């Protein structure tokens, strides 16, 4: 990816493109799971490359392949994730 400039308004956003286009890489970088090679990412004026914890409290991200614990109910999984999220 040579560069991207993007402004997303409030609400739900979908990112579409062919395999290998960089969608997963972009999303992992936006949500702070990996560092960008260069540039900056700002969310409401906060540099989330320098403060990746901030974006994790504001943004929900569900990747296509989301592995969960085996033999756990949906309720227990959501409760577990809520507890983890509260402790960040």
Is 0.75 topped by the overall pTM? Answer: no
pLDDT tens for the chain, 88 residues long, are: 567 788 888 888 888 889 898 888 888 888 888 888 888 888 888 998 988 888 888 877 777 777 777 888 989 988 888 888 775 5
| Interatomic CA distance for residues 73 and 5, integer angstroms | 40
CB-based burial of residue 54 (10 Å sphere; 0-12 exposed, 13-18 middle, 19+ buried)? middle
For residue 46, list its beta bridge partners. Answer: 43
Domain ranges of the chain: 23-86
């Amino acid at each position: 990816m040579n560069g991207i400039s993007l402004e997303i308004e409030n609400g739900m956003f979908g990112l579409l493109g062919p395999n290998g286009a960089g969608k997963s890489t972009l999303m992992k970088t936006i949500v702070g799971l990996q560092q960008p090679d260069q540039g900056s990412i700002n969310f409401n004026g906060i540099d989330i490359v320098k403060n990746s914890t901030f974006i994790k409290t504001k943004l929900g991200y569900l990747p296509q392949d989301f592995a969960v614990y085996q033999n756990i109910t949906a309720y227990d999984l959501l409760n577990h994730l809520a507890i983890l999220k509260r402790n960040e």
